[in-house]
Amino acid sequence: ELPGKGGGEGEGGGDGDAGGGFGGDGEAGGMPVEQTSPPKPPPASPAPPPSPSSPPLPGSSCELAHSFGDSSTNTFSLDISDTSVGVGPPGYNPLLCSGTWFTGSGAVYWLKLDDVRPGVSLDLTACGFDTDLSIFKGSCDSLEMVACDGDSGSCNVAYSSFIDDFVPEADTQYYIVLAGYNGLTGAATVTATYASGASPSPSPSPSPAPSPVPSPSPVPSPSPSPVPSPSPSPSPTPSLALAGAFAVSLASAIASAVALASALTITLAGPVAVAVAVADTL
């Protein structure tokens, strides 16, 4: 039994060796070491905000048309470039611009005619490069082309533009559009010339409202004065003389009758006496 135990102890020693081995592992490693990840790169800087777009320049659209011809100067110099102008007018009519090679879009420059003289002939000239010139009327959202020219100018530069004898209408806004042949760009000068001696028409002054005239007060008609009724004329009082005369006549008649009766009575004595008495009485 003892050897058996010894064997058991040996086994126990073996266990100790094993334990020592484990202990050796413990001494070699100690506490397990946590492995760290490599440092992360710093976050990228945010992208800078986009640069604000440049504001549209005067002349780049109908709404930004440059005032032109204000009666103090009718000449305007401009520079058409692809980056500084807008598209052409939507009301472009190619039938009025035959031979100009301007399609109504692309590099154009807008001018607003402020010096409008109704009924006075206006000439427009564009010099500087191979230009195309057109005139529109109306509002920016509803334009109508009324004149156009490509190469009729007589400047020292070939293919300049010229519109002559254009007559503006009263109470109408006009826009002048300058473009180039087949999209060509460049510097140009636009000149407006009215007929000799014409001056800007003054704005009509409003007519003063007439002062109301008071109505005359009605004159009352005079009331007619009542006409008095004529006083009745009193009936004449019967004359006493007439009454007296009547009484006398009546008395005379009675007396005559009495006398006649007496005579008749007297003459009853005989026929002859009666006849004589009657004759005397009559």
- Give Rg (Cα) of the chain: 72
- Which residue in this structure is represented by tokens 């019967």? 238
Residue of 74, 78, 177 whose CA lies nearest to 132: 177
The Cα–Cα gap between 149 and 152 comes to: 7
pLDDT of residue 87: 61
CA distances from 234 to 127, 183, 243 (A): 122, 126, 20
pLDDT of residue 175: 94
Length of the chain: 282
Token pair, residue 143, equals 């334009």
Say if residues 136 and 181 touch (Cβ distance below 8 Å).
Answer: no
Domain at 66-194: CATH code: 2.60.120.1220
Say if residues 62 and 111 touch (Cβ distance below 8 Å).
Answer: no
Q: Residue ranges of the domains in the chain?
A: 66-194
Those residues with Cβ within 8 angstroms of residue 170's Cβ, 6 or more apart along the chain or in another chain: 116, 118, 119
- DSSP strand pairing (131-139 vs 75-80): unpaired
CB atoms within 10 A of CB 59: 24
- DSSP strand pairing (161-166 vs 122-127): antiparallel
- DSSP strand pairing (186-194 vs 122-127): antiparallel
**Secondary structure class of 49 (helix, strand, coil):** coil
**Secondary structure class of 39 (helix, strand, coil):** coil
Torsional sign, CA 37, 39, 41, 43:
positive
pLDDT of residue 59: 87
pLDDT of residue 45: 81
The Cα–Cα gap between 273 and 258 comes to: 18
Mean pLDDT by 10 residues, the chain (282 residues): 45 46 49 72 81 80 85 73 68 80 80 89 91 92 90 86 91 92 88 72 51 60 57 50 42 49 41 40 40
pLDDT of residue 221: 59
Phi, psi of 86 (to 5 degrees): -100, -165
Say if residues 177 and 136 touch (Cβ distance below 8 Å).
Answer: yes
| Helical packing angle, 271-281 and 240-267, nearest 10° | 160
pLDDT of residue 173: 95
The Cα–Cα gap between 108 and 86 comes to: 6
DSSP 83: T
Residue 75 pairs in a beta bridge with: 191
Residue 180 pairs in a beta bridge with: 131
CB atoms within 10 A of CB 125: 23
